[in-house]
Structure 1
Amino acid sequence: MNAPERLNALSDEMLAALQAQIDSLSQDRETRVVILSGEGKAFCAGHDLKQMQQGRQAEDGGKAYFADLFTRCGRVMSGLTRLPQPVIAQVHGIATAAGCQLVASCDMAVAAEGTRFGVNGVNIGLFCSTPMVALSRNIHRKRAFEMPRMALHTFI
């Protein structure tokens, strides 16, 4: 991922680029392993909140935009799990919300010391629930339960 100025947020453009790569890799029999990394100081901060705010300005309050956004995001996450190659997330900085889901959708994660993972959403006392399916498949159930309940960051 190469949008360091936005902490590699999952913008519409980033999701489209990831999906294009996944589609290409799904047919590629030469590539043996996929390494997913992010440029700059963060792996991925989650969805692009500025785009989400713009989507909310639509006449329907963003209902159609958000339905499409989460469908596309789910397609990317599912696509990663279905790739024939093992997918390794090379994580540093932060991986929060949908960025944490991106890591959990990979087959393996290698994290730099000090990396923070979190399912915290916006700062209104809520947590981002979409990563929980992928997280619950990859970490101990008690730890998976603890993360949203505490809206915490897990440090490596």
Structure 2
Amino acid sequence: MIWKIAERKRGSDKSRLTGKGTRLLAILGTTLAATVGVTAVASAAPAGCASGYACFWEDHSYVTDGSPYNEVRFYMYYTDFNYLNYTTNKDAHDNVSSLYNNGNSQSIYVYKNENFGGQAFGLSKTVGDNDLSNSSGGAPGGFNDSIDSGCFTGWC
């Protein structure tokens, strides 16, 4: 599993990399991960989480109001979970207790603030956390009901 906690000030472009710098960092990160043995345990995606998406549920155990199909999800990125609504008409702003990266090839990064701001962590593909209220899953502690934006690698 990959954990990366980062702090980024809102509106700051200093931490953004584009073009060749991003590709070089991706190559170096992959090489470093292989060298130090960082691994991620792949698992079957929860029901309702389509291939290629990052999925989020209001409750632990990958459900919202008892159903795995009441998730919210994004494909490339989502800058403000205030506008991402569960099928129960609740928005996902500070209202996520489990998540799963069912992306095809990239890690996801989720942030405590809108527009990719504040503390963040990353999850490799096919990795999730079924209970954000503790730190025993794929995510570090402190993110339960406090996620407001997210992106796949290369989109934030």
Task: Provide the TM-score with structure 2 as the length reference.
Answer: 0.25
Task: Provide the TM-score with structure 1 as the length reference.
Answer: 0.25
Q: Which has the higher strand share?
A: 2
- Point out which structure has higher relative CO (alpha carbons under 8 A, 6+ apart): 2
